[in-house]
Structure 1
Amino acid sequence: MATITPRKTKKGIRYTAQIRINRKGLRPYSESFSADKRSIVKEWAIQREAELMKPGGLAAATAERPSVGNVLTYYLEDYQDLMAFGRSKLADLKKLINHDISDKDATTLTTAEVLQHVRDRRASGAGPATVKNDLIWLSTAFQSVSAARNLTLKLTSIKEAQVIAKKERLIAASKKRDRRPELLELDQLLESFSSRDKRATIPMVPITLFALFSTRRQDEICRIQWSDLDRANSRVLVRDMKHPREKTDTWCALPARAMAIIDQMPQIDERIFPYNSKSVGSAFTRTCKILGIEDLHFHDLRHEAITHQFEIGQQIPVVAKISGHKSWASLQRYTHLLQLEHFDKYQGWSWLTLELSE
């Protein structure tokens, strides 16, 4: 039975009918169709399901030319568990399946059809970096599925659309965030966390301070284990650490302040910070909203931590060992700080002193 999902657009409500069939002996089949009227997509779904239910109908459909939506679905089925997709990539792929481009024939997809998707997405309010990601995921899915399932897909159309869209400034790389929390903002956050930590299940004060001095990402903090801690060398093994091309286990140095925070954590679980990563992020975002702190993300603490290391005079090789960057090129944006007078903005900071003395 097909599912029909409404989606709000600037022009009104648009409906998408999605057919998914799993039958033993055949590859999973997925097909979708979108229109402005629910009655139209419902009629399409009834007719298409009837065709697929005829003897040999599903076998013929799975053997014939797949739609873009089919290709994206195959990519998820074939690689999701193998590659452990990140939350954002997984969400982007699932959203793409619900866009009009998913109805197009993947074997005859034209550059014009891909560019129409780009224009539609930009018209609906999506930014250039978001739409660029659409094309990246489409290209990746086409390339991987083509090889894995021996299909002839029109990958060249996506590549050509990428070139044209970039030239016309319809897509662009995401801008690097430079948001740094002010000490007053950190004071406000930690005061709020402190007042709730005694009754909350997640101790946000030590988690926030650890992020601030270790450079670790939100999900990494909630994943590191006591068994991965090397106290003698003040370092921790971050498993499946995010890198541009792959995830790999990486030893990361721990600055003294980060190590001191770990020393105070109770050993109640195999993980040092045994909490749900999403819940940590939600608590941080919610508190920022309550306090009126604008445009501050938990990930900005990593940028702050790396910046701080340069401000106190650390050189690129040392900072790379702390942050886990394999390429020094990723740290070039901070090198101007090496020319400035070194200073420690957290020296004598009351929260640090309080936390380390508790």
Structure 2
Amino acid sequence: MATFKTRKKKDGTVVHSAQIRIMKAGVQAFSEAKSFEGRGAEKNARLWAANREAEVKKLLANGKSLSDLSIAQAMARYLKEHENVPKPLGKTKRGTMRLMSEEPILSTIALAEITASDILNYLRKRHDEDNAKPATVLQDLAYIRVLAKYARVAWSIPVNLQEIEDASGVASQLGIVDRSTCRDRRPTYDELQKICSYKHREKNGKGRMSEFKTPLDDIVLFAVFSARRLGEIVRLEWNDLDALKGTILVKDMKHPRKKIGNNMTLFLPRRAIKLIEKQPKVEGESRIFPYAESTIGAAFQRACRWADIEDLTFHDLRHEGVSHLFELQLSVPEVSMVSGHRSWSNLARYTHLTQAGYYDKYSVLGKELGEAGLIGQPSP
């Protein structure tokens, strides 16, 4: 039987909640609740309750319960239950958990009966057979922990969390899991030139020129000069730009806990503003760079392969941008007002200086994009 409630949050948002309770032999055999917000929330709540109740009743009729779910099945259920929630899963978490839900080993382990040995065997397989790096394996372990904690509360599955911690300790001793090392890869100026020339590459060796609809060259340079992540770049809007002050509102910046609404007004260096001014305004489109994140990311990787550039990611451009700001001898507060970092400890891992003293690696672009530095800051 399902019950429904409606309430208002402090900000006026209407929340529709559904709760199902299933009785068996006069005893409550199952209980679960879920809340929905936004357009169609009431309809979604009722639809979820009907489908979920039918699903659980079918399990109980077959003598099964949610406690019989394998880790892989539980991962799939977790993803499904987080499809229409106020705080959606991040791209990395969603993608990794989807792959884990298809992992054969995890499909043979019941979540309710999980043991440290089971987890360690899976982590060994990821490290030894799949050649996953310790930091990647650690991420898998973290998502198993997240799933277990969720299952205990949301599904009333008695998962032994200590088994996960025991496996974590042994895996750490064996070097199977570890935190990621500080990456110091920076693109050279020649590498960036090659990537930017990719849109004008020769096609099939016949001298025919092929151009992307996306201005990959401008976006790559903008990523460097603004020190912005790709996901943030494609969300920037014209209305949030103040070219005179040299600032822009960056929406939904990456945050370890706050996935939505983490908006910050940050400074843009002169050259980043010049690149924005080059972009045409598209009728009916509010974004400055109106392209899909996946399209740009794929084009960047193709450009790297075409130019024989190894071990370079789009995120390395942010590393390059932050390091370059320090090479321009900007202070820590000035750099953080561009990058959005809240602490020096987080900012320090991005600084990989090429040489001491003032150094403008991109001075050759001065005629096209102007001087380095921030608006209002005197040029060296």
TM range, normalised to the smaller chain? 0.7 to 0.9
Corresponding residue number in structure 2 for 1:114: 119
- 1:76–1:190: structure 2 CA closer, same or farther, 3 Å change rule? same
SS in 2 for 1:342: coil
Corresponding residue number in structure 1 for 2:61: 56
What is the CA distance between 1:213 and its match in structure 2? 0.1
Corresponding residue number in structure 2 for 1:98: 102
Deviations 1:87-119 (A, max 9, x none): 322121011122212321212211111111111
SS in 2 for 1:261: helix
Unpaired stretches in structure 2, ≥5 consecutive residues: 1-48, 203-208, 372-380
Would you say the 8 A contact 1:108–1:153 is kept in 2?
Answer: yes
Counterparts of 1:25 and 1:226, CA distance in 2: 43
Counterparts of 1:306 and 1:164, CA distance in 2: 37
Q: Indicate the RMSD between aligned Cα atoms, in angstroms.
A: 2.8
SS in 2 for 1:24: helix
After superposing the two structures, state which structure 1 stretch, 163-172 or 337-346, moved more. Answer: 337-346
Q: Is 1:172 matched with 2:178? A: yes
Corresponding residue number in structure 1 for 2:289: 273
Counterparts of 1:314 and 1:28, CA distance in 2: 59
Identity %: 33
What is the CA distance between 1:218 and its match in structure 2? 1.1
Would you say the 8 A contact 1:67–1:103 is kept in 2?
Answer: yes
What is the CA distance between 1:336 and its match in structure 2? 7.8
The normalised TM-score by structure 1 is 0.78
SS in 2 for 1:92: helix
Counterparts of 1:28 and 1:121, CA distance in 2: 32
Letter in 2 for 1:279: T
- 1:221–1:27: structure 2 CA closer, same or farther, 3 Å change rule? farther
Would you say the 8 A contact 2:200–2:211 is kept in 1?
Answer: no
Counterparts of 2:170 and 2:312, CA distance in 1: 34
Deviations 1:93-150 (A, max 9, x none): 0111222123212122111111111112222122211111110011011112322233
- 1:156–1:102: structure 2 CA closer, same or farther, 3 Å change rule? farther
- 1:322–1:198: structure 2 CA closer, same or farther, 3 Å change rule? farther
Letter in 1 for 2:109: K
SS in 2 for 1:170: coil
After superposing the two structures, state which structure 1 stretch, 338-347 or 235-244, moved more. Answer: 338-347
Deviations 1:310-343 (A, max 9, x none): 1111122111111111222111235685993122
- 1:168–1:195: structure 2 CA closer, same or farther, 3 Å change rule? closer
What is the CA distance between 1:193 and its match in structure 2? 2.8
Corresponding residue number in structure 1 for 2:266: 252
Question: Number of aligned pairs?
Answer: 310
Would you say the 8 A contact 2:71–2:111 is kept in 1?
Answer: yes
- 1:114–1:25: structure 2 CA closer, same or farther, 3 Å change rule? closer
Corresponding residue number in structure 1 for 2:318: 302
The normalised TM-score by structure 2 is 0.74
Would you say the 8 A contact 2:248–2:268 is kept in 1?
Answer: yes
Deviations 1:243-277 (A, max 9, x none): 22222222221111111211221111210000111
Deviations 1:2-54 (A, max 9, x none): xxxxxxxxxxxxxxxxxxxx98353757xxxxxxxxxxxxxxxxxxxxxx979
Counterparts of 2:277 and 2:60, CA distance in 1: 67
Corresponding residue number in structure 2 for 1:67: 70
SS in 2 for 1:201: coil
Q: Is 1:327 matched with 2:343? A: yes
Corresponding residue number in structure 2 for 1:136: 142
What is the CA distance between 1:232 and its match in structure 2? 4.0
Corresponding residue number in structure 2 for 1:26: 53
SS in 1 for 2:187: coil
After superposing the two structures, state which structure 1 stretch, 134-143 or 230-239, moved more. Answer: 230-239
Would you say the 8 A contact 1:236–1:252 is kept in 2?
Answer: yes
SS in 2 for 1:237: strand
Within a 5 Å distance, the mapping from 1:332-343 to structure 2 comes to 332-333=348-349, 337=353, 340-343=356-359
Would you say the 8 A contact 1:96–1:102 is kept in 2?
Answer: no
Counterparts of 2:192 and 2:52, CA distance in 1: 58
Counterparts of 2:367 and 2:291, CA distance in 1: 25
Counterparts of 1:230 and 1:145, CA distance in 2: 47
Within a 5 Å distance, the mapping from 1:194-233 to structure 2 comes to 194=200, 199-233=211-245
After superposing the two structures, state which structure 1 stretch, 337-346 or 129-138, moved more. Answer: 337-346
What is the CA distance between 1:63 and its match in structure 2? 4.6
What is the CA distance between 1:308 and its match in structure 2? 0.2
SS in 2 for 1:164: helix
Unpaired stretches in structure 1, ≥5 consecutive residues: 1-21, 30-51
Counterparts of 1:346 and 1:54, CA distance in 2: 64
Q: Is 1:183 matched with 2:189? A: yes
Letter in 1 for 2:127: R
Counterparts of 2:107 and 2:294, CA distance in 1: 30
SS in 2 for 1:252: strand
Would you say the 8 A contact 2:225–2:269 is kept in 1?
Answer: yes
- 1:81–1:323: structure 2 CA closer, same or farther, 3 Å change rule? farther
- 1:109–1:54: structure 2 CA closer, same or farther, 3 Å change rule? closer
Would you say the 8 A contact 2:326–2:335 is kept in 1?
Answer: yes
Counterparts of 1:56 and 1:70, CA distance in 2: 19
Would you say the 8 A contact 2:59–2:65 is kept in 1?
Answer: no
Letter in 2 for 1:128: P
